[in-house]
Each structure stands twice: as structure tokens, then as C-alpha cells.
Structure 1
Amino acid sequence: MTEITVSAERLSHWFGQGETRKQALFDVSLALPRGSFTVLMGPSGSGKTTVLTLLGCLRAVQAGSVRLLGHELHGAPEPHLVALRRRLGFIFQMHNLHESLTAAQNVIMGLQVHPGVPDATARAAAAQVLGLVGLSDRIDYLPANLSGGQKQRVAVARALVGNPALVLADEPTAALDKDTAAGVVDLLKRMGAARGTTTLLVTHDNRILDRADRILTLEDGRIVKVEDRA
């Protein structure tokens, strides 16, 4: 039986209160098998980021069910959600690196959710994952001395350094050229295959669709198409 990393059943969500309350998601159901690479597409305002934040314990589930790593999120207390977030990796369109920290130091920040990791162990882990993203020779560089593609690879390394069960990526290739974008996506796929890491990537980027195992299309808060490519 296929192990499911995260699933949603009839997930709905609203923003606002009273007369301004507006429904953003309508009965969204999905399941992401362990190690899979899924792309979530749709126009701006369709609810893609809302789905991502609900699956990643960044918003409270209002209606429906989300099961993450075997745990129900609907109604879960905040300490429980915090513990689950520590098992996830997040990548965003903007790399959000600290300009005063080196590449290695930025990656080490991804381990701060795991208290008690010795400094030497953290440094070694950062060096290893930076090597995996092709930045072994840039470990001690500040972001100002890195290209846009290199900065995004540091952000990917930061997300992966804690060996997360699930990576949630919001438009991570939007600001990258075609070759760099393909490299970032291929890296996420390799890590998924090697470590069993599940990836959900939100994108408008048609250039990377051929890498996906599955493509989900969201329109007006509803999944309107599911395309399996694996």
C-alpha cells in the first residue's frame, strides 16, 4: 500500500468576517504519496498558496480534513502544529536569505527548528547539502556575491538540510532562467527519490511541467483537473 505523506478531504476555507467573508477553497481533495513530485497550477487568486499554507500548518483548517504524516490537522492544538512544521521544508519565490550571513550560515538556520544540534554537526550538514546543490565552492560566500540562481539554491539547501518529509515550494522558479529553474526542480526530484521526500510545488512556470509526477489545476478554489504523468 502506498504511503501518503499528506492528504486533504473536502477542504474549504474562508477569509474575512461577516459581510466581507469570502470563500477561497471549495471541497478540495488531494493525496500526495511519499516521494512524489506534484505541481499545483492555476491563475492568480485561485487558492494555490492557501492550499500550501493549510497543508503546511501555517493556517488553521476551518472545514474538511487534512492529514499530515498520519496526524489530523483540523482542530489540532498549536504545539502539535509547531511540532509537525519542524518536519517540513519551505521554499518561496524570494529566497529570503539573510544578507549578513554566509551561504552555510543561512542553511544552518534551517536546523534551528531542531534544538540541540551541535555546531560542528550543523556545519557539516550544511556543507553536505550545499554540495548536493552544486555550491561546495560558495559555502562561505555572502548572498551579495551570489547570482540569483545560486541564492535560490541556497534557499533549497536550507529547506532540505533538516531532511524534511514534505517540501512545500511556492513559485520557487519564477525569478530564474530556464536552465536554473530546471536545475532547481531536478534537484528536488533527486532528493525525493533518494530520501523519500514528498514535494508540492506551486507554480505558473510551464517550463517545468514535464518534471512533475502529477499536475493539479486549481481554478476559483476548486481542483478542476488532475493529470498523472508518472
Structure 2
Amino acid sequence: MAEDIPVDVSGLNHWFGRGEARKQALFNVNLKVAQGSLTVLVGPSGSGKTTLLTLAGCLRDVQEGSIRLLGQELKGAQSDLQKTLRRRLGFIFQAHNLHGSLTALQNVLMGLQVHGRADPELQAKAARHTLTLLGLGDRIHYLPDNLSGGQKQRVAVARALVGNPDVVFADEPTAALDRESGATVVQMLKRLGQVRGTTTVMVTHDNRILELADRIVTLEDGRIVNDTAP
């Protein structure tokens, strides 16, 4: 089945800028990510990791080559298809992007709104459960200004995971977290892969979590230069 390979990148090239300022960021990238796996993208700043992540996550348009996401081709995809696919994804960024006027619980509930109408009680229960798993059960009614940086990031992680996404795209998700909190987040992502088949593609410079990865893909200057795929 196509969705056994939820992220399938083939012959991907990407450029930024125009005219003389046009610069190629990705060169003939090929990558197949297995369902339920935790794949980590590493490499120096400017190597193309985040560009690849945002292209695979429907956050940029594919210019040349192919990306099949959950069995759907993204090259030339219409906005309606992209929107439908994004509802099946979870995004975790280095910046938590929480709404300052909403509590931790309310911020996480926003992660369920994209899925349409549902029982509010069940949604609240799911949000509380996810926050508790991330060690924030006693902070659910706190506003972001009353949370530490690490706690805010864990709220953002909960918001990304509460809807049980098929694929999680994470860009430096542990950068603001201490060792224990970072390990908790990555172990949770790995557990979701094992239990629910959730696929995670993560960009990181955090060497502490590499031992938890199923696969480490190294990029340099827009090219894959090493891949530990089994």
C-alpha cells in the first residue's frame, strides 16, 4: 500500500530567490520514510533540513521532483488537497507559537479544531490526557506567561499530538527542553510509532536524542550524504 511509505521523496530539487539571486537549496533528494518510524534529519545550519521538512509537510510548494505524502502527490497539488492532508499531520516547531490569552488546555484544544466538530467533553479529555503524559497535568489552566519556556514547548507538543496525526513533522522540538523533558517528548513520539503507527520526521541538532532514532539522515549543502536506514 502507498501509505506504508507515508513520506516518499524522489528527485527533489528546490530553489530560493530569483534571477541572479536564485540559489539551489536541495539537490536530487531521494528519501522513503517507513510508517511508524522515527527519522531524524541532521546536518549543519543551511544544509536544507528545514526546507525538506516544510516541503514534505505541505508548507511549501514542490518545484521540481516528487513528494508523495500519505499516498498523495504534492507536486502541483491543489490547495484543497493540501488542506486535507495537513489535517492528518502534526507540526512541532522550535518556537512554541502559543496564544497568550488562552490556557494550556485551550491551546491544545486548538489542535483538535482542524478535525471539525466532535464531542467537546471527549476533546477536553483527550487534551488533558496528552498534557498529563507530558508532565503538565497540574498546569492545564495556566496561561503561557505563567509557564516556563520548556513547559510552553511541551504544550506545543501536546497540541501537535492530541489529534493522533498520521505523520509528525518536528523542527528542533527539544531545543528549549532539558534532558529529561526532551527525552520524554522523543520517547512519546517513538511510542506513538510503535503503538499507533505514527510516523515522525524530525530536524535536530540535539545529539542527546540520536540514540532514540530509528534512522539518521545527514544533509550537507542540500544533499543527503549519509543515511543509516536499516
Fold shared per TM-score above 0.5: yes
Q: Deviations over 1:193-212 (max 9, x none)?
A: 22111001101111111010
Equivalents in 2 of 1:209, 1:186: separation in Å?
11
Q: Does the CA-based 8 Å contact 2:36-2:194 persist in structure 1?
A: yes
Task: Quote the residue 1:37 is aligned against.
Answer: 38
Runs of 4+ off more than 3 Å: none
Q: Which runs of 5+ in 1 are unaligned?
A: none
**What SS class does the counterpart of residue 67 from structure 1 fall into?**
strand
Q: TM-score, normalised by structure 1?
A: 0.95
Aligned to 1:211: 212
Q: Percent identity, aligned pairs only?
A: 66
Tell me which amino acid in the other structure corresponds to 1:125: A
Cα deviation, 1:148-202, whole Å, max 9, x if unaligned, reads: 2222111111001111000000011112222222122112112222211100110
Structure 1 counterpart of 2:103: 102
Q: In the alignment, which residue of structure 2 is the partner of 1:159? A: 160
Verify: 1:141 aligned to 2:164, yes or no: no
Return the alpha-carbon distance in structure 2 between the equivalents of residues 132 and 164 of structure 1.
Answer: 17
Moved more, 5-14 or 117-126: 117-126
Report the secondary structure of 1:155's partner residue: helix
* 1:55 and 2:50 correspond: no
Is the contact made by 2:98 and 2:152 (CA closer than 8 Å) also made in structure 1?
yes
Partner residue of 2:66? 65
Unaligned runs of 5+ in 2: none
| Partner-residue secondary structure (3-state), 2:122 | helix
Return the letter of the residue paired with 1:117.
A
Cα distance per residue 1:107-127 (max 9 Å; x no partner): 001112112223323212211
On the 8 A contact 2:153/2:176 being kept in 1, the answer is no
In structure 2, the partner of 1:9 is: 10
CA–CA distance in structure 2, aligned partners of residues 150 and 19 of structure 1: 44
The whole-number CA distance in structure 2 between the counterparts of 1:147 and 1:18 is: 44
Q: How many pairs were matched up? A: 229
2 CA distance for matches of 1:133 and 1:194? 17
Structure 2 residue 228 is matched with structure 1 residue 222: no
SS at match of 1:136: coil
